[in-house]
Structure 1
Amino acid sequence: MNSRRHRLTTADRLRSLRIRLIAVFTAITLTGVTGMAFAGIQVDGHQREQALLADLRITSSAVLSLIYREAGTLRLTGVADAIGDRATGVYVFERRGDALGPALARPGRTQLVPLRRLEPAAWSSISGNQSVVAKATATDGTTQQLLAVAFAVESAGRPTGSVVVTIDAQDSEAAHARLALTLIGGGIGFVLLASAGAYLLARRSTRIAGAALDQQERFLADAAHELRTPLTTIRVTAEAALVDADHQSGALRKVIRSADRMTNSVETLLTRARMIAGTRELRLEKFRLDQLVAEVVEDTAAGARSVDLDVEAVVSHGDPAILRMAVRNLVENAVRHGAVDGHGADVLVRVREGEVVIRDHGPGLTSGAPAFDRFTSTAPGSSGLGLSIADWAVRLHRGRLSVATDPEGGAVARIDLPE
């Protein structure tokens, strides 16, 4: 398990992190939505039941105020008129020894409920001398809310009967069920939407981390690739100098050139890494483009067989250090890859308003090679980051770098800068 974990790539680790973030966010959202939906359903059911019971209590109070006993007989005079066309049904039970006898059954606008289904609630209210709330099923199968209230007449010391009032709860329960379905459906939809949002947020946040890790890996790969050649050259030259003491002077000069190239590569890579990481900003200022190019040619074109420098006085606006990197890489490419038959390169450098052209008379571009890709350069069998870095530096100044094979032979690199 541990070995497999160590083999995970950066993309795998970010994907695993993204899945965990989505799972945690979804679980939290689901818990919160479920709790709120459950609370909403419970509160709504309780409120609906209390609303029905409020109507039942009003009716039961009116009926109880009209019940009395006369000559040993329970009288319900005026109860029928008091009920009228109420939406509640009224059932009165009288205690007769160990049994209950119905004294009144008026369903009102509700469906009739069989008396045997009401007797348990009536007995319970009489036995406990308290109100009893329950549900009952009418003859048509609909559910009704009922309230049973015990009563006692003046001459009796204990409850002598019970008033059971009912009301149709079908509409209330249907509305409650619709609300429950709405809350559940809405909760599911919200969780799905939140999960989608969590996926987008996790993907976007991990993409930033992935880009940073990718930049780090690219920097390490670029540095390793760019430094491999000069380090190899230094080692081979030093070993040759140890064997042949007569060529130590030339070997040392070659070592110095390789060290200079390595220093330039390190400075270029570090500058690019700082720009990408945001620790170094583009420093815009006015400078003489012709003088910058002339200085670069003087520093980097020593290995060329001939250099034709054709410049005009040009004032440009940008970051001189970044543009110097672009020009230096292009000149180095021309000197390194423009040689013919080992006799050195003939390089032409021209500077005009908003334009720098660097041309060699070598073999030109490799057919089909994407010149600005990393580790691709202008000569067969060679590799480097020169053109890629030059293109990045020019685009940073909203310019354009084009590299092509000249019809007369050689490669031509052209930098176009905005005026």
Structure 2
Amino acid sequence: MRSRTPAAARLHRARWAMTLLFAAATAACLLVLATIAVRTDTHSRTSNLDNDVSRRADGLARAVFYDAGGVLHLEPLQDDELAYGADVFGILQAPPAARPRIRHANTSPASLPGRDDLDEIWKEVQHDQETVLYTARSVSGQEYQWAATPVWDNDTIRATVLVGADPTQSRTDHTRLVRRLALGCAALVLVAAVVGHLLSGRATRPALRGLEQQEQFLAEAAHELRTPLATLRLVVEAGSTSTGRAPAALDEAVRLVDRLGRLVTGLLARARVEAGTQEIELIPLRLDQLVEQTVEELPDRSGVTVSTEPTVVDGDPELLAQAVRNLVENALRHGGGTPVEVKVAADRVCVRDHGPGVHAKDRARVFERHVTGTASTGTGTGLAIVRWVAQLHGGSAQLSRTPGGGLLAELLLPHRSGGTPGRPDCACAGSAASSFRS
């Protein structure tokens, strides 16, 4: 596994930072919404409970009455649905100049508030002269929400209808809602983090791809320039140590400099094509002549034989020359010092060595970038360039074994008429194998 470059590591850290920021922003928004929802639910449940006890207390207060003799009649409560539906209710009555006492209760008097709370409720009713709300515990210890409505005897409040509602169920439902909101918000934050990570990854993917292409270009540029630079150094050193060899060395140095110029032009063209800033320009060219010239420019071409047939293809001369050069140099470097045969026929270039070859399962993988092959294939950098150039021209590159041993590398290009490379009528694998057979 390749280690990340510092720039790629910064991009990955930026991706996680964007993920955390997205999740944090989502969490903050959900927290605000959840807080509003909890407060709204609390207010709504309290209001509903208060409205229910107030409505019952008002209705029951209208049902009971004082007659002309000052007697409180409770008989209407026996048939009143409001009385049956109440959790707890009672009648609080105060004789003249005396403390209020419980006149009637639908359950045990222990379900009503204690003495001190009853006195306080009575004072508030007398003061407000309308329905009052009060929270108090009953004598048995159960907390209720109470509504107390006055009952008038002419112009005097002589009694109070007291209705209580148990808030336990409402609080239980509220607690359940809070838990569901908490779980829902946590799940949404998790989903937001995942979505944010995916989106940030998609946003940084072009930058990572650009960094990878840049690293690959630098590796390929070093691969292409290393050999001619080393050869140029040897030529210059040889010319400087011998006066008689200086003119020949100078001519060779000029030729190598020209080759370096073409290499740099090809590298820049490939970089622009991969970056999408330049379209490849295909022109008709003689593939056989291009291969002969490319092999002729190799610094060490001993052991290389070339057999060509007149072949015209549409292509980029610099990129095709680069691909052919990589195929031949790869065969020279990793063919075990065996002879290398190059043949051009039927829209393809065939390069054969007599080395150990490549296992069938590795023949496709060695064309991938950063894949290390066997002794006959090298690091895969040069072959990756060959495949890239072939695909850019609508062709392909492949490896195969040949009769008598060795490895056959082929660069297949499409017909000028637009046909598919590799068709039987233009195949050179069989003819190459027979002509290369020792």
TM-score, scaled relative to structure 2: 0.73
Which of the residues 401, 404, 419 maps onto 2:397? 401
The root-mean-square deviation of aligned C-alpha atoms, in Å, is: 4.2
Cα deviation, 1:65-93, whole Å, max 9, x if unaligned, reads: 34555578462444514644532233232
Partner of 1:205: 203
Which of the residues 260, 264, 267 maps onto 1:266? 264
Partner of 1:47: 44
Superposed counterparts of 1:6-405, under 5 Å: 9-66=6-63, 68-69=65-66, 73=70, 75-81=72-78, 83-84=80-81, 85-88=83-86, 89-95=88-94, 97=97, 99-107=99-107, 112-116=111-115, 119=118, 120-129=120-129, 131-137=131-137, 144-150=144-150, 153-156=153-156, 161-281=159-279, 287=284, 291-302=286-297, 304=301, 307-311=305-309, 313=311, 322-331=319-328, 347-352=341-346, 355-359=348-352, 372=367, 385-397=381-393, 399-403=395-399
- The AA in structure 2 aligned to 1:329 is N
Rounded Cα–Cα distance in structure 1 between residues aligned with 2:166 and 2:336: 102
Residues 311 and 350 in structure 1, CA contact (< 8 A), matched pair in contact too: yes
With over 3 angstroms needed to count, the CA separation of the structure-2 counterparts of 1:323 and 1:149, relative to structure 1, is farther
3-state secondary structure, aligned to 1:65: helix
Which of the residues 387, 403, 416 maps onto 2:412? 416
Cα deviation, 1:326-379, whole Å, max 9, x if unaligned, reads: 2343356567888969xxx764322215x3313367x67699998545598998
- The AA in structure 2 aligned to 1:171 is Q
Rounded Cα–Cα distance in structure 1 between residues aligned with 2:321 and 2:89: 100
1:101 is displaced (CA, Å) by: 1.9
Rounded Cα–Cα distance in structure 1 between residues aligned with 2:266 and 2:139: 92
Residues 287 and 320 in structure 1, CA contact (< 8 A), matched pair in contact too: no
Rounded Cα–Cα distance in structure 2 between residues aligned with 1:400 and 1:140: 91
Aligned residues: 400
Partner of 1:3: none
1:98 is displaced (CA, Å) by: 7.3
With over 3 angstroms needed to count, the CA separation of the structure-2 counterparts of 1:336 and 1:17, relative to structure 1, is closer
Rounded Cα–Cα distance in structure 1 between residues aligned with 2:408 and 2:254: 29
Rounded Cα–Cα distance in structure 2 between residues aligned with 1:340 and 1:167: 100
- The AA in structure 1 aligned to 2:255 is R
Rounded Cα–Cα distance in structure 2 between residues aligned with 1:277 and 1:42: 56
The range that moved more, 192-201 or 392-401, is 392-401
3-state secondary structure, aligned to 2:163: strand
Residues 288 and 311 in structure 2, CA contact (< 8 A), matched pair in contact too: no
- The AA in structure 2 aligned to 1:51 is N
3-state secondary structure, aligned to 2:245: helix
Sequence identity (%): 29
Residues 93 and 101 in structure 1, CA contact (< 8 A), matched pair in contact too: yes
Rounded Cα–Cα distance in structure 2 between residues aligned with 1:74 and 1:286: 118
1:389 is displaced (CA, Å) by: 0.8
Rounded Cα–Cα distance in structure 2 between residues aligned with 1:350 and 1:381: 21
What are structure 2's unaligned runs of at least 5 residues? 414-419, 422-438
TM-score, scaled relative to structure 1: 0.76
Residues 142 and 170 in structure 1, CA contact (< 8 A), matched pair in contact too: no
3-state secondary structure, aligned to 2:278: coil
With over 3 angstroms needed to count, the CA separation of the structure-2 counterparts of 1:236 and 1:198, relative to structure 1, is same
